[in-house]
A and B are shown apart, each in its own frame.
Chain A
Amino acid sequence: MKTFIIVYGAAVLLLMGIAEYRGWSLMSYQEQKGVPKTLRENPGSYRSSYARTLHK
C-alpha cells in the first residue's frame, strides 16, 4: 500500500507539475500548419474550422 501511495502520488504530482509548467489546457482548439504569410494582407482567405458553424 505504501509503495502504491508513493508511486501514485508521485505520478499525480509529476503530471500536475508538467501540466502547469507546460501550460496545458482542457480547451478545445484546432492546430493548422502552413498558413501563408499573405494572410495578413488577405485575412478572409483563411478557412477556420470554427467559422460560421454555430451562428450562420
Chain B
Amino acid sequence: MADPSLTAPPSTPVSPRVKTLKCSGCGNPLTVRGMERTEAVACEACGSVIDLTDENLRILSTFQSKIKHKPLIPLGSRGKVRGDLFEVIGYLRRAVTVEGEDYEWSEYLLFNPYKGFRWLSEYNGHWNFIKTTTNIPKKKGDGVRYLDKTFLHFQSAESRVTYVLGEFYWKVQAGETCKFTDYIAPPLILSKEQTPQETDWSIGEYIEPETLWSAFRVTSPMPARIGVAPNQLSPYSGKVASLWKLIGYLFLAAVFIHLALFFFSQNKLVFENRFTFQQKDKGKAIVTEIFDIFGRPSNVVIKTAAAPLDNSWLFLNMALISEDGRAYDFGREISYYHGTEDGSAWTEGGFSDEATLPSIPSGRYYLRIEPESSAPMVNYHIRVYRDVPRWSFFFLALGALCILPILLIWRVARFEGKRWSESDHPGTVWMRIPDSTPEEEEGKEKPKGKVSR
C-alpha cells in the first residue's frame, strides 16, 4: 500500500514559471524554476553556487569537481509521481566513507508550487520518493516507532555533498556534511538528518525505476539494479504466510493419500508354510504349492522367521515364480550372533526378515526355495502377503516436501541477507526481518527544511 501523502489526488498541472539570470562566476545563463523558494542555484559551467537571497548574487562556494555528473533525469523534466506533477529543479551527489571506501548516491530535488518539495534518491539503480515530515518518531529499542509501525535501524553515518547542479531551497555548501540515521520498514524508509543547526526527519518510499522513466519520459537507459535496497520490498513480502499454508496443505494431502491407500490395501495372507533345513539338504531346492495372487499389480511381501539360530545364519535363495514362466529372484539372509566382549554382552542380527517384491501382477504363483545355513538344523516359517501398505514412500515424500520450507526459508534469508549486508547489522538477518506491511503515513509535509534525502 502506498504512503497516502505521497499519493495525493492529482493536482492541476502547472505551467513552468522560470526566471533567468547570469552566473556571477562565469556569466553562464542560469534558470530558476523554484520561484521565491529557491535560495541557491549551482552553475553547471563553473560549479559556482550562487546565493539568490543576496541582491548581488554572491558566490556561496565553488565545487571543484573534476567529474561532471549528468543527472539520469534531466533538470527541467516534469512528470507525475504518486499523482502529483513535479519538476526536477536540483541535483546533488552525496557520499559516505565506510571503512575507507566511498559510497555515492544521487538526489534529485522535485518542486511543485502547490505541493512543495520532494526528493528522489538513487543508489545502485534503486529509487526512493522522499518527503520531509514534521511527525517525530518515537524511539523503540535501536529502532523507532512511527505511525503504528516499527522501523528497524539500518545504518548511521555522516554524508557529505560532493556535487551540485541546479537550484535548492537552502544555501548548499561544498562539502556540507550531515549525520544521518536510516530506519526501515519496507517499502518505507525513515531518515533522521542532523546538522549542528537542526534535526530533520523524512519518510521515503521505494519506487520502481520504470515508474519514474515513464513519468518523466526519460530516454536514457535505466541503470541496472544492483543488490537489494534497504527498503526494497521483499518479493516474498505478504506471501510467506500463504506459501507456508500451501506447504502445509501438501503435507496434509500426503497424509491423506497415504492413509487412503493404507486402509484400502488388501494386506492379505496368500501363502504360509513351515520348513526345516538340515545339512543333508544342502544344495537342494524345494518348491511350494501354488497359491493365487489377486488384484491390481502391487507388492508381494515375503516374511520369514527362523529358529534356532545361535551364532549362525540361514540364507534363503528364493524365487517367486508364476505359472506362465516369470520368476522374481532374490536372496535373503537371517543371522543371529551374540557374545561378550570386555565383560559386556552383545548381539547382532535377528530371527526374522521381510522382503518386498514390487508391482507383481495377479496370477498363480509358487516359491522356489534353496536354503543354506551354517547351523546343523534350522526351522523356518514363510508367509506371503499381497498388497501390503508400506511407509517408506510416505516418509520419502515427506522428506521431499521438507525441501519446500527449507527452500522458502533459504530464499527469504538470502534476500534479507543481501539487504542487511550493507547495514550496520550484517549477519543478523533472523533478528531483523522487517515488517513489510506498509501502513499509511499521516505526516504533514514540511514546507521548508534543510537537507532531505
Contact = CB atoms under 8 A, between A and B. Distances in A.
Interface of A: 1-2, 5-6, 8-9, 12-13, 15-17, 19-37, 39-40, 43-44, 46, 48-55
Contacts of A9: 246-247, 250, 253, 401, 404
14 contacts: A2-B243, A9-B401, A12-B401, A16-B254, A20-B390, A22-B296, A23-B358, A24-B299, A25-B357, A27-B357, A33-B326, A36-B325, A48-B317, A48-B329
B397 A23 contact: no
B299 A23 contact: yes
B400 A25 contact: no
B393 A19 contact: yes
Contacts of B239: 1-2
Contact of B359 (A22, A34, A46): A22
Nearest to B397: A16
Contacts, number: 159
Contacts of A37: 323, 325
A2 B253 CA distance: 17
B355 interface: yes
A17 B408 contact: no
A1 B358 contact: no
Taking residues whose C-beta sits less than 8 angstroms from the other chain, chain B's interface range is: 35 or more
A44 B285 contact: yes
A46 B368 contact: yes
Interface string B274-293: 00000000011111000000
Nearest to B369: A43
A21 B295 CA distance: 11
Contacts of A52: 317, 372
Contacts of B368: 39, 43, 46, 48
A13 B14 CA distance: 61
Given A13-B254, A54-B315, A20 B394 contact: yes
A30 B284 CA distance: 21
A12 B397 contact: yes
B170 interface: no
B325 A20 contact: no
A22 to B, nearest CB: 5
A20 B261 CA distance: 7
B319 interface: yes
Contacts of B370: 43, 48, 51
A17 B261 contact: yes
B357 A29 contact: yes
A21 to B, nearest CB: 6
A48 B258 contact: no
Given A2-B243, A20-B261, A46 B285 contact: yes
A20 B258 contact: yes
Contact of B325 (A6, A17, A35, A54): A35
A33 B324 CA distance: 9
A2 B246 contact: yes
A23 B319 contact: no
Contact of B246 (A5, A25, A34, A51): A5
B254 A31 contact: no
B297 interface: yes
Interface in B354-412: 355-360, 366, 368, 370, 372, 374, 387-390, 392-394, 396-397, 400-401, 403-404, 408, 411
A32 B332 CA distance: 18
A21 B329 contact: no
Nearest to B313: A55
B222 interface: no
Contacts of A23: 297-300, 356, 358-360, 387-388, 390
B328 interface: yes
Given A27-B330, A43-B285, A48-B370, A5 B323 contact: no
A16 B394 contact: yes
B393 A40 contact: no
B60 interface: no
B326 A31 contact: yes
Nearest to A54: B315
Nearest to B390: A20
Contact of A43 (B287, B357, B358): B287
Given A5-B250, A34-B325, A49-B329, A22 B286 contact: no
Nearest to A18: B393
Contacts of A55: 313, 315, 333, 372, 374
B327 interface: yes
A5 to B, nearest CB: 6
